[in-house]
C-alpha cells in the first residue's frame, strides 16, 4: 500500500483520536475539580469514598478500565454494548484522568496560604467567592506545568482505544500493518503523535507565559 494512502486512511482515524482527546479534557478537568473538593471535604465518609475512587482509578490500568466501562454493563446487567464506542471510551478516559487531575488540583489548593482566605474574608468575600475569584486563578497558574504533563500523556494514551476496537488512528494503523506486513503505519502514527504533542506543548507553553505576569 502506498504511503500516501496509509496517511490518508490513518488521517481519518486521527479525527477520532482528536475526539477522544478533546472530549476527555472537556469532562475530566471540571470533574477533577469536583472530585478534589470532595476529597478535601471535612465529612470523613465523603472524603474516604473519594479517596477510594482516586486510589482505584490511579491504581488500575487504563486498558482494564476501558474494558470494564465498555463491556461491564453487558456482563453485569445484560445492557447491550454501545454501538458508538466513543461513548464508553470517553467515559473511561474522563473518569481516569479526573482522578489524576483531582490530585493535581489538591496539591495546588493546599499550597495556598490560609492568609489568602483570611484577607478575602476581610474584604467581604464569602468562602465560595474567595475560592472562585482569588484562590482558583492562582491554583491554575501553579498547576499548569503538571496539567501539561497529563495532557501530553493523554495524547499518547488515546491509542489505548484499540483495546475496545474503536477505530482511532492507532487502531487503523495496526490493521494496515497486520494486513500488509509492514512497520510503516507505526512510523506514521509516531509522527502524528509527535506533531500533536508538539502543538499541545506550544499551546500550553503560551498559556504558561501568559500567566507568568510577575516575571
**How confident is the model over 131-151, as pLDDT tens digits?**
878 888 888 888 999 999 999
% the chain with pLDDT above 90: 53
pTM across the whole model: 0.90
Query: What pLDDT was estimated at residue 94?
Result: 97
* DSSP secondary structure, 91-156, as one string: HHHHHHHHHHHHHHHHHHHHTS-HHHHHHHHHTT--HHHHIIIIIHHHHHHHHHHHHHHHHHHHHH
Please classify residue 66 by burial: count the beta carbons closer than 10 Å to its beta carbon, then call 0-12 exposed, 13-18 middle and 19+ buried. buried
Specify the pLDDT at position 67.
94
pLDDT at residue 215 in the model: 52
Lowest mean pLDDT among 11-20, 59-68, 87-96, 202-211: 202-211
Distance between CA 37 and CA 172 in Å, rounded?
40
Determine the pLDDT at residue 2.
75
Interval 181-195: pLDDT, tens: 889 889 999 999 999
Q: Please, what are the domains in the chain? A: 3-211 (1.10.3720.10)
Per the document, the length of the chain is 215
Answer whether residue 78 shows pLDDT above 90.
Answer: no
Q: What is the pLDDT of residue 182?
A: 87
Amino acid at each position: 500500500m502506498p504511503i500516501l494512502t496509509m496517511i490518508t486512511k490513518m488521517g481519518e482515524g486521527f479525527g477520532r483520536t482528536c475526539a477522544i482527546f478533546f472530549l476527555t479534557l472537556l469532562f475530566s478537568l471540571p470533574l477533577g475539580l469536583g472530585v478534589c473538593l470532595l476529597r478535601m471535604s471535612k465529612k470523613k465518609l465523603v472524603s474516604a469514598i473519594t479517596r477510594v475512587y482516586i486510589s482505584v482509578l490511579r491504581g488500575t490500568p487504563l486498558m482494564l478500565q476501558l474494558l470494564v466501562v465498555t463491556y461491564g454493563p453487558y456482563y453485569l446487567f445484560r445492557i447491550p454494548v454501545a454501538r458508538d464506542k466513543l461513548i464508553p471510551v470517553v467515559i473511561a478516559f474522563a473518569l481516569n484522568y479526573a482522578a489524576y487531575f483531582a490530585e493535581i488540583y489538591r496539591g495546588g489548593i493546599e499550597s495556598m496560604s490560609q492568609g489568602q482566605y483570611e484577607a478575602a474574608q476581610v474584604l467581604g468575600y464569602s468562602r465560595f467567592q474567595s475560592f472562585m475569584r482569588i484562590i482558583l486563578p492562582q491554583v491554575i497558574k501553579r498547576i499548569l506545568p503538571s496539567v501539561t504533563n497529563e495532557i501530553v500523556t493523554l495524547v499518547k494514551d488515546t491509542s489505548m482505544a484499540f483495546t475496545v476496537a474503536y477505530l482511532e488512528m492507532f487502531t487503523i494503523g495496526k490493521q494496515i500493518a497486520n494486513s500488509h506486513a509492514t512497520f510503516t503505519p507505526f512510523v506514521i502514527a509516531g509522527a502524528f503523535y509527535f506533531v500533536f504533542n508538539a502543538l499541545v506543548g506550544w499551546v500550553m507553553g503560551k498559556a504558561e507565559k501568559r500567566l507568568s505576569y510577575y516575571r
